[in-house]
Structure 1
Amino acid sequence: MRPTLLVTSALLLAAVLTPLHGGTRLAAQRQPAPRRNSDRLVADPAPLAAVTTLLEIDRAFSKTSSDLSMRAALDAMFADGVIAPWQRGEIVKGKAAVIRAMLQSPDSVAKLSWAPIRGGVSADGLHGFTFGYLAAEHPDGRLSHSKYMAYWVREPRGWRVAAWKRRPIGAAPLASEPHAPSLPSRIVKPTTNTDVVARYYRSLVNAEAGFSQLAQRVGLSRAFADMGSDDAVNMGGPDDPQFVVGAANIARAVAPVNGDSPATITWGADTALVSSSGDLGITFGVIRPKVQQDPSAPSPGSAFFTIWRRASPSAPWRYIAE
């Protein structure tokens, strides 16, 4: 969601990364270690199979993109209704609009490749997320590097990206071990009950609002620590080559000073997506200062998205990736 957005403006868009030697591009090297037989006796293998498939699909889109323009690469994997946080507090919606925004990047003439380091899926097997590192190879051979995060929805034609962002970083990332996947305890049949899904949607929107309200009371540091999962990740800033891992670390990164003072910013969910199993979802919104410095020229704010997870539809939501 917000750590870097709070410190600086937001910018937009399991495998091991090969170190970048002499311009070598990012590449997936290996899968997470297989589970032991003892693990299989107590765990449903279906969730792991589902997230493994999603990670393979993410890598497959990367492999295909190496021969495509940025426009064609993004068009292939984006859902028609893809959403992306963008500059000056804008949330861009729709494939054509998101791609048009992405093509404003200096990397628009580059060939993209990326490697996910973690994935997760919902209990209904229809929503998921991945994040990792992306390299853009320019015609002159120069490489630029980014972190990326994607939220996926499984459509009749297959998995497609429903939300995407990337954050440029100043240097090539260090080789990174895969993070353990985010898995539900089991895969369940999707529900078609719109009232149930609407209730999940409201609970997710309310969780985002509650996050902001908590920050007004106890400060950003405590709010980020309390509302995040132990294995949550944040994209960090352009000077952070790696993802920030863990709610406690994210809290320190978001508010290195005065973190216990009531927040001077506010935010909420303008829209959201939620799985029919009610355990995975994503919110989109804009962070704004509580007090405008110049009422005649209000701040446009900083757009964000946050991926949320919970153990069951009756459990509290906690952010897992932002």
Structure 2
Amino acid sequence: MRPTLLVSSTLLLAAMLTPLYDGSRLAAQPQPAPRRTGDRRAADPAPLAAVTTLLDIDRAFSKTSSDLSMRAALDAMFADGVIAPWQRGEIVKGKAAVIRALLQSPDSVAKLSWAPIRGGVSADGLHGFTFGYLAAEHPDGRLAHSKYMAYWVREPRGWRVAAWKRRPIGAAPLASEPQAPALPRRMVKATVDSDVIARYYRSLVNAEVGFSQLAQRVGLSRAFADMGSADAVNMGGPDDPQFVVGAANIGRTVAPVNGDQPATITWGADTAFVASSGDLGITFGVIRPNVQQDPNAPAPGAAFFTIWRRASSSAPWRYIAE
């Protein structure tokens, strides 16, 4: 999410320090992608099976976490190189650093639980994402609610979270219906060709840069509407109890005022992960003002990550979750 810097910085800080949502009542089951009218070809069951496995693993980590401390729960789920957006425009890298930052919160004494409402996988079956609702249950029984988003990679030891963020909401969400998964048309064999993967990486980084450049020309609202997929989601703010769904709705949410004016902020991709199939990836960066008011002050910024998806390795990238 890239609204004004002040709002973004506040939300990102709160998102990482506030507690999570109790997903024990959710039973999100993935639904098959709708078939096009007149398409007589049988759907490939492998992509749906892959995302079902990922969602089940996400739920399993939540179930296990109910008996663990916050440190132990996150340590079990996070990849060694996990990345999280943080305060003051920082991007925290590495399991130890991310967990150490999260344990600064008073919620470090709480038990975590969560449940995904949607997931997606890459065609090579090695990258995926989930998002949903979380809670931290404090020793006195108090629950505090939030939304979460996770980007996963499949390691030799299994699926682990490579990027993670959460954002608070004032109360439990009004609804928790599952959303249809983001699926490739078919699964493909992973490639180890470094030149191919490097090309996909560059195209993903360029998509994030192009996103910012488009906002400078047409405004944030139009840029978010144009660069997102029809089923894209945004975490919204603390007053949004649900995820914001749809690129047009996201555009109106991130820029409710003067959204058609050239953006006064800019951003890019400092780093990224991309699947070897070239159809799913995530970018990390920092939003900064085009003009810094005080040249002697530390440069303000708000860290973010954006999950991107495309229909094939040659199609244009569109953000799917952020």
For this structure pair, what is the TM-score category when the shorter chain's length is used for normalisation? Answer: over 0.9
56-65 or 36-45, which deviates more? 36-45
CA, structure 1 residues 109+219, in 2 after alignment: closer, same or farther (shift >3 Å)? Answer: same
- Which residue of structure 2 aligns with residue 223 of structure 1? 223
State the shift of 1:277 in Å.
0.2
State the shift of 1:107 in Å.
1.4
| Equivalent residue for 2:25, pick from 13, 20, 27 | 27
State the shift of 1:130 in Å.
0.1
State the shift of 1:6 in Å.
6.7
- Which residue of structure 2 aligns with residue 7 of structure 1? 7
Runs of 5+ unmatched residues, structure 2: none
- Which residue of structure 1 aligns with residue 178 of structure 2? 178
CA, structure 1 residues 34+236, in 2 after alignment: closer, same or farther (shift >3 Å)? Answer: closer
State the shift of 1:150 in Å.
0.1
The reply to whether residue 100 of structure 1 matches residue 103 of structure 2 is no
CA, structure 1 residues 235+25, in 2 after alignment: closer, same or farther (shift >3 Å)? Answer: closer
- Which residue of structure 1 aligns with residue 209 of structure 2? 209
The whole-number CA distance in structure 1 between the counterparts of 2:30 and 2:47 is 14
- Which residue of structure 2 aligns with residue 115 of structure 1? 115
- Which residue of structure 1 aligns with residue 277 of structure 2? 277
The whole-number CA distance in structure 2 between the counterparts of 1:258 and 1:34 is 39
RMSD, aligned CA: 2.0
260-269 or 296-305, which deviates more? 296-305
State the shift of 1:128 in Å.
0.1
97-106 or 263-272, which deviates more? 97-106
SS in 1 for 2:99: helix
- Which residue of structure 1 aligns with residue 68 of structure 2? 68
Which residue identity is paired with 1:29?
A: A
Runs of 5+ unmatched residues, structure 1: 14-19
Aligned partners of 2:28 and 2:117 also within 8 Å: no
- Which residue of structure 1 aligns with residue 192 of structure 2? 192
Which residue identity is paired with 1:136?
A: A
Identity within the alignment, %: 86
The whole-number CA distance in structure 1 between the counterparts of 2:82 and 2:222 is 32
CA, structure 1 residues 104+249, in 2 after alignment: closer, same or farther (shift >3 Å)? Answer: same
- Which residue of structure 2 aligns with residue 17 of structure 1? none
CA, structure 1 residues 5+320, in 2 after alignment: closer, same or farther (shift >3 Å)? Answer: farther
State the shift of 1:168 in Å.
1.2
User: How many residues are aligned here?
Assistant: 313
The whole-number CA distance in structure 2 between the counterparts of 1:106 and 1:251 is 34
SS in 2 for 1:42: coil
Show the 5 A alignment for 1:252-263: 252-263=252-263
State the shift of 1:193 in Å.
0.2
Aligned partners of 2:134 and 2:146 also within 8 Å: yes
Under a length normalisation based on structure 2, what TM-score does the superposition of the two structures give?
Answer: 0.93
